Structures are given as structure tokens and as C-alpha cells.
Amino acid sequence: MVTPRPKKSKAQGRSRPKTTTSLRITRSLKSRAVEVLDLLDERYPAAETELDYRNHFELIIAVILSAQCTDVRVNLVTPALFAAYPDASSLAKASAEQVEPFIKTCGLFRSKARNIVKCAKDLCELHDGKVPSDRRSLEALAGVGRKTANVVLSNAFKTDAIAVDTHVYRLARKLGLSRANSATAVERDLMAVLPQERWNKAHHTLIWHGRRCCKARKPECPLCPVAELCPSQETYPDEIHAKMLAAAARRERP
């Protein structure tokens, strides 16, 4: 009697595991990514967060406030906010309505006021007023998503992480380091192509480049140190090219 061969499930029959990145990760891609990062690090050796903060509590609140808002604007409102509420305990005792006037110019100020007050309460109730150092606990706090958690982990605790904001998302795609359509997927791609020990600085370097050169509306490709490595490089008429170079020269004058 012949014993029938058991049928393979769909999972068993797959010839290769499903990829977790949006593009094929090759040695060539990794090498180009490192070369891009090296050149950008030369241009922006001092790249770091541009949010002003003095401790972990101020950092997490500032990052929550920075959603859909510039760091410059956040830095304008946080001195008065932290003078009134210097720690999680004091902020937890406030109402959202009391906090709103301090952050009114940040945009989405009502929801942000609710979030930072609730976040402060969570810190007091769950972590004795201290900012936790693990991802799960951070993402359980009000107003804290993956990007905010990554910023706190990398800046406060030096944990290897890549926070993907609008600049990092846009530049990763323009530079051909990702084809993903979500911040989480872009983060996964960057983690695959960049050496882990460079994740933290890469986040800041890409943001600085996005703010200073590779701008969303009009990227300054003639001034870009990685233009030759960028598949999205744009060309401009000679007159505009010359104006960009002249403007850059004026900015560099003492």
C-alpha cells in the first residue's frame, strides 16, 4: 500500500521568504549609501538635533510639539512652557486649557496640549516621572509614536535608531535608498542599507541636508555634495545655476 504524500501548505511551499524591504539590498546599494553618508557628513560634521532641551523630559515634550511644526518655532515656545512646568509632575497637574496659551503658535496646539499633559501624567503614574529608555514603554505614552520614540532613544539614550521625519522620508526616496510609501518602511530600508553604528547621526545629517540644500520645493542640486550619486538630480538653466552658486557664496561670507 502506498502512503499518500502529505500536501504542503502554502507557507511550506514558498521558495523564498517574503522580503521586508522595498528594494533589493545589494552590496552596491550599501556601498553607495555609505558613500552618500560620508559626503554628507563632510558637509555637515556638526549635524545634531536642532531642538533645545536640557533633560529627557524637555526632549520628549519638545519632540511631541515638533509634529508638523518647525524646530525653530518649538524653540521659541518651550522656554516659557518649561519655566511654568519644569518637570513631569508639574505638567501633569495642569489642564490642557492652561497649557494651550504657551504653545498656541505651534499648530495643532489643542491636541498637542492634551497630549503633553497626558504624557506627563503617564510618566508620573508609570515611570515615577522619568522618561523610560525602552521603545515599548515610550510608544505607550500619550502623543508618542515610533518617530518620537526613535528621536528620544537616539538622542537621550544613544540607542541605535533612525527616526524618519518628512525630510528623511523624502531624501531616502530621492537618493534611491528606499521606494517605500510609509515612514516605517523607509526606516526599515535605511536600517538595511546603512551600518548600524551610523544610524543616529544619519538621521540628523539627512535632516540638515533636507533643510539646507535638498529642499522640497526647489532642491539646490548644483550645490549638492552627492548630486553625482543621486538618481533624482535635477538640472537647471545656466542663469538659475549661476544664481544658486552666487547665493551660496553670499551665505558663506563672514
Residues identified as active-site: 147, 165
The answer for residues whose C-beta is within 8 angstroms of residue 235's C-beta and 6 or more apart is 221
Query: To which residue does cell 533612525 refer?
Result: 162
Residue type, 121: K
- The grid coordinates listed for 235 are 538640472
Assess contact for 80 and 50: CB atoms under 8 A: no
- Helices 27-43 and 199-212: crossing angle in degrees, nearest 10, is 60
Closest CA to 63 of 134, 162, 157, 165: 165
| Total residue count of the chain as it appears in this document | 254
